[in-house]
Each structure stands twice: as structure tokens, then as C-alpha cells.
Structure 1
Amino acid sequence: METFIALGILIAFLLIILIKTAVIVPQRMEFVVERLGKYRGTLQAGFHILIPFFDRVAYKRSLKEEPIDIEAQTCITADNVTLEVDGILYIQVIDSKKSAYGIDNFHFAAAQLAQTSLRSAIGKIDLDKTFEARETLNGQVVLALDEAAENWGVKVLRYEIKDIQPPRTVLEAMEKQMKAEREKRADIARSEGDKQSTINRAEGDKAEAIARSEGEKLKRINEAEGRAREITMVAEATAEGIRRVAEALSMPGGSEAANLEVAKSYINEFGKLAKENNTMILPANLTDVASMVTAAMSTIKQANKPLQPKPQPPVKRPVRPRETLQP
């Protein structure tokens, strides 16, 4: 019985020692071990055995990326405007030993340094540029933190400004300014539209006038060509008629036929004159139609004869006076 009791006590003692000395480090974690208060080493992920009563785990560090919320703080811009700015900082431990012995609390130190760096960066720019210069501000804060955190075994990955809150009076002024700017752009756009519309109408009127003048020009050209062609055709037809009349007159029996046509025309025209007018002037030889026909035919023959050139008068030469001899 005493043997079983002693064995149980021994097993319990061994279990206590095993629990105290065995250490399991999770993935993406590192344990800083001290031996009698002095740094001994850094344990990676896995199972480890420590010397009881000599070794102990002093610090536990996570190698994951850690976000740190930066509380809202008051910042003053270069044009003396007060702003409330908050953000978030992302850091990562890359050296567990430095993070344990380089600084007491690197989370608090990083947060305080981020606030001071942000106040300094905002104090160099005006209010209007703070909203559009967020990337620049974030880069300046990361650069300032990274230089200081190198001795802490910490890497500053990035910093993001979450919100910039200016005073209410400034917000109202900015809103009025934006409204005025929008109205200005609307007026400019409207004036540009009116200008373009006027130009388009002027160009349309110009094109219409040119097209109308071109059409009028073509119309007049076509009419002139038509009239010229008509005159040419009439002249050609008249010439052809005269030529055929001349040919008919030169043929056997042509003169008799012409005499008959002239007599008929004379009688027809005289009959029309008797119908239209109440007062008539009658020729003396009204009954002598043959003489009238003979006169008309002689006129036609005289017209068909080629024109003879008029004789030119002789050129009178000036007579030089005869010179007289002087004694």
C-alpha cells in the first residue's frame, strides 16, 4: 500500500514538472525565454522543454499584422483651422527580442508617435489640401514611424486616415463654396452651349445661303443654256426652212408654186384686215394681184442674190508743190 502511494506521488511530481517545463508555441508566434532573469533564446512554433526553476517564458509575441486604432485628435492646419482627425495604424513584429527589450510598450509608443507625426504633417498644409492630400499624409506618418520603430523590432506597414472633421462653421463655408462652384460650372456650361448653338445656327444659315445661291446660279445657267439652245434651234430651223425654200424655187415649177403661196397669203392677210378694222386703207391697184405677186417674187429673188461688195472710191494722193529755182 505504501508502495502504491509513493508511486502515485512520484507520477504526480513528474506530471507537474512536465507541465512546468513543456512549452508548445503556436504557429505565427514566438516566445522569449529567460534563464535566471537573462535572455536565453527565442522559441519558434512547435514543442519545447525548459529547465524547471531556471527557464521561464518572459514574453509572447505574435508575428501577425496588428491594427492599432488611433483616437481622434485635434490638429491645426497652416491657415489656422482646427480639425478632428482619427486613423488606424498597421504594424508587425519582425524581431521578438527587440520588441521585448527595445521598448516597454511598442503599441502605445507607435500610437503616440503616429498622432504627433500626423499633427506635424497637417500643420504644413492648408485646409483645402487636407482632403485631397490623404495619401501624402499617410506616407509621411509611415515614414516617421518606420524610422523610430526599427529599434523596436517592429515594421510599420501602413497608416490610413479614417475621418477628417472640420468645425461646423467651416463645413457651412465649404458647402457654400462648393455650391457657388457648381453654379459657376453650370453657367459656364450653359454659356458654352449657347455659344455653340449660335455658331451652329450661323453655320447652318451660311450653308443654306450658299446652297440657295448655288441653286440659283445653276438655275440661271440652265435657263441661259436653254434659251441659247432654243435660239440656236430656231435659227437652224429658219435657216433650214430658207434653204429648202431656195431649193424649191430652183426646182422646175418652183416659181409658180411660190407665186401661188404669195397670192394666197396676200388674200388671207387682206381678209383678216377687213375683219378686224372698220377703217381700211386700200392700195390703188387692189385688183391687180398679179402685180403684187410679181413685186413680192422680185424681192425674194433680190434677197437670194449674194451681196456684191461696194466699190471703194479711189485714193487721192496729195500733190507735192513743184519747187521753183532761185536765180
Structure 2
Amino acid sequence: MGFSPVLIALIFFGIIILFSGIFTVRQQSAALVERLGRYYGTRRSGLQFKIPIIDRIAGRVSLKVQQLDVNVETKTRDNVFVKLRVSVQYYILPEKIYDAFYRLENSHEQITAYVFDTVRAEVPKMKLDDVFERKDDIALAIRRELEESMNEYGYGIVKALVTDIDPDIEVKNAMNRINAAERIKLAAEYEGEAERIRIVAKARAEAESKRLQGQGIADQRREIARGLEESVEVLNKVGINSQEASALIVVTQHYDTLQAMGENSNSNLIMMPNAPSAGADMLSQMTASFVTAQQMGEEMKQKTIANGSHNKG
């Protein structure tokens, strides 16, 4: 006995209706089921069943963390227009899936509105430099505002980040010029300090050189004086008195100097006087100057003593 076409159609239609009551829900998502137009329940991941025709899937929501980027343009306290990019990371609270689906028509628009409101309330209180330095404070204020408002609608806020701060192009150019000028100024200061250090080091080196040179000259003169003293002592031992010894030494030094000058054929120096009696004349002049200096010293000493006695009287 064969099946009539009507029976086959009914069986086929029944199988379709039966399978229409079976559905699956993906991982990290949820499906909301309505029965006769009214919310009936929420189905989680896995194989699920519903009554065909009577029940229907009203919608599916993702339970993953999502990100929304919001661009906001506002003005700072020093009247600089600036664009901020704010990234909001949010998710649907598992226990408030009903509120997230039914109470809020468009979550993106709602979050964007709160971000605009918070940014335009916080940034105008700051100068441009403060916006860059306190961007974390701005992000914290956005997150706090969103948590207070969006938790009621079934949304949790993971984090709010200010990812970009873009001032007006003219302001950026001015800032770049200021930074360049600051760097040039700093470089000039470093160069000036280096030059000062070089000058000081050179001056110290020259001072040390002159000190050592003066010390060398003093040592040289000291040795010359010691040599002369020893020469006089040697001459005294052989019966020559101090005056004769001094004359002999002066004459010897005079002729030694003439000999040293004569050894250099390219020398243009002329020693005046250069007569044979020059040594004796020089000794006489030196002796006369020593005597005169001694007499002046004695006179000044006598005047000092006299003035002291007059003041006491």
C-alpha cells in the first residue's frame, strides 16, 4: 500500500517543524528566547531546544570583551582645540543579559554619549600640556562615569584608555618650534659650559706653568747664589779677600757671557759696555748701590724710632 502525496507532505512538514525546535548557541554567547512574544529565558552555549512556532529566538548577544573607539574634539583651558581618541573596553554582565538586550536600544551610542560628556567636562579644565600629562586621569574619569551609568543596563567596563591626543596643526607646529628652540638653547648652554671649562683649564695650566717657571728661576738664582758663596769661600782660603773675590767673580761672569755670545755666529746681540774695564765698573756700581741702599735703610730706621719717641712724649 503506497502513501498518498498529502500524507508525505504532512510527514515532511512535521519533520521540518521538529527540527526547527533544535538550535545551538556558540561559546561565549547567549540566546534570548521569547514565547508568544514574551521573554521566556536565556540559553547558553551548546545544544538547546524550543517549542516550534510558539517559541522564537529574539536575539543573540556576545559575552566577549568588546572595544569601542570614540573620537572627541574639545577645547582646553588655554583655548586650544584638541582631538582625543578614547578606547572603551566593555562586556555584557552574564547575570544581566536581559537588561543589556531589552533595556538599551543601542549600547554604542549610549557609551559614546557618556564619553563625549565626560571628556568635554574634564579637558576644558586643563591646559594643553596638562592634557598630555594627565591623560590617565581623564581615562579614569571616563571609566568611573561609564561604570556608574552602564552597570544599570547590564554592561561592565573593563578599561577606558586615551590612546591619542591630537592638537590643531598650527598648535603642533608651534610646539615643534618651541621644542626646537629649547634644544638649540640647551645645546648653546652646553657649548658655553664646555668653552668655560676649557678656558678655566687653560688658565689653570698657564698659572701652574708660570708658578713652576718662577719656582725654577728662584731655584736657579738660589743655586747661583750658593755657587757664588762657595766661590768666595774658596778664594778666601787662598788669601783673596771678599772684595777682591767679588771683583774676580764679576769679571769672570762678564767674560763667560761674552764667550757664550761669541759662540753663536747668528747672534745680533751687543753687550754694552764691552770694554775690558766693564767688569770693574759694574762691580763699583753694584757696591755703590748696595751702600746707598744700606744708608737709606738706616735713615728710615732712625726716623721711625724718633717718631715713636715723639708720640710717647
TM-score bucket (shorter structure)? 0.5 to 0.7
Counterpart CA distance in 2 for 1:172 and 1:11 is 77
Q: Distance in 1 between the 2:141 and 2:166 partners?
A: 20
The equivalent residue for 1:324 is none
Secondary structure at the counterpart of residue 51 of structure 1: coil
Answer yes or no: is the 8 Å Cα contact 1:99–1:153 preserved in 2.
yes
Distance change in 2, residues 1:195/1:23 (3 Å): same
Give, in whole Å, the separation in 2 of the partners of 1:93 and 1:231.
116
Distance across 1 between alignment mates of 2:175 and 2:44: 55
Report the counterpart of residue 29 of structure 2 in structure 1.
29
Amino acid at match of 1:16: I
Q: Look up the equivalent residue of 1:67 and give its one-letter code.
A: Q
**Quick check: which one's helix share is greater?**
2
For 1:281, the equivalent position in structure 2 comes to: none
Q: Which residues in structure 2 correspond to 1:56-71 (within 5 Å)?
A: 56-70=56-70
| 2:43 equivalent in structure 1 | 43
Deviations 1:190-218 (A, max 9, x none): 22222222333334345545665677788
Residues 262-319 of structure 1, C-alpha deviations (whole Å, 9 max, x = no match): xxxxxxxxxxxxxxxxxxxxxxxxxxxxxxxxxxxxxxxxxxxxxxxxxxxxxxxxxx
Counterpart-to-counterpart distance in 2, 1:63 and 1:173: 46
How far apart in 1 are the matches of 2:55 and 2:231?
Answer: 130
Distance in 2 separating the partners of 1:218 and 1:229: 16
The one-letter code matched in structure 2 to 1:92 is Y
Deviates more, 1:182-191 or 1:157-166: 157-166
List aligned pairs for 1:57-206, cutoff 5 A. 57-70=57-70, 72-94=71-93, 95-206=96-207
Query: TM-score normalized by structure 2?
Result: 0.62
Separation in 1, partners of 2:65, 2:162: 18
Larger radius of gyration: 1
- Farther off after superposition, 5-14 or 223-232: 223-232
Residue 19 of structure 1 pairs with residue 19 of structure 2: yes
Q: Distance in 2 between matches of 1:45 and 1:228?
A: 119
Q: Which moved more, 1:161-170 or 1:118-127?
A: 161-170
Q: Conserved in 2, the CA contact under 8 Å of 1:75 and 1:83?
A: yes
Normalising by structure 1, what TM-score?
0.60
Q: 1:93 to 1:206 in 2, by over 3 A?
A: farther
Q: Which position in structure 2 is the counterpart of 1:323?
A: none
What do the CA deviations read for 1:3-53 (whole angstroms, capped 9, x no partner)?
A: 264553343223322332111001111112223333332211100011223
Q: Which region of structure 1 is more displaced relative to structure 2, 180-189 or 154-163?
A: 154-163
How far residue 75 of structure 1 moved from its aligned partner, in angstroms, is: 0.3
**Which position in structure 2 is the counterpart of 1:258?**
none
One-letter amino acid matched to 2:98: K
Structure 1 Cα separation of the partners of residues 135 and 216 of structure 2? 66
Q: How many residues align?
A: 237
- State the secondary structure of the residue aligned to 1:131: helix
Partner residue in 1 for 2:308: none
User: Using a 3 Å threshold, how does the CA distance of structure 1 residues 150 and 207 change in structure 2: closer, same or farther?
Assistant: farther
Q: Which sections of structure 1, spanning at least 5 residues, go unmatched?
A: 233-327
- What is the percent sequence identity of the aligned residues? 26
CA distance in 2, matches of 1:154, 1:216: 94
Matches of 1:34 and 1:230 in 2, distance apart? 133
1:123 match: secondary structure: helix
Aligned counterparts of 1:229 and 1:36: Cα–Cα separation in 2: 137
Separation in structure 1 between the aligned mates of residue 202 and residue 128 of structure 2, nearest angstrom: 46
| Cα separation, partners in 2 of 1:225 and 1:148, compared to 1, 3 Å | farther
Q: What CA distance in whole angstroms lies between the structure 1 residues aligned with 2:210 and 2:170?
A: 60
CA contact (8 A) 2:72 2:119 kept: no
* Amino acid in structure 1 at the alignment position of 2:75: I
1:92 and 1:157 in contact (8 A); partners too: yes
1:129 aligned partner, one-letter code: D
Q: How big is the alpha-carbon RMSD for the aligned residues of Structure 1 and Structure 2?
A: 3.5
Q: Give the residue type in structure 2 aligned to 1:50.
A: K
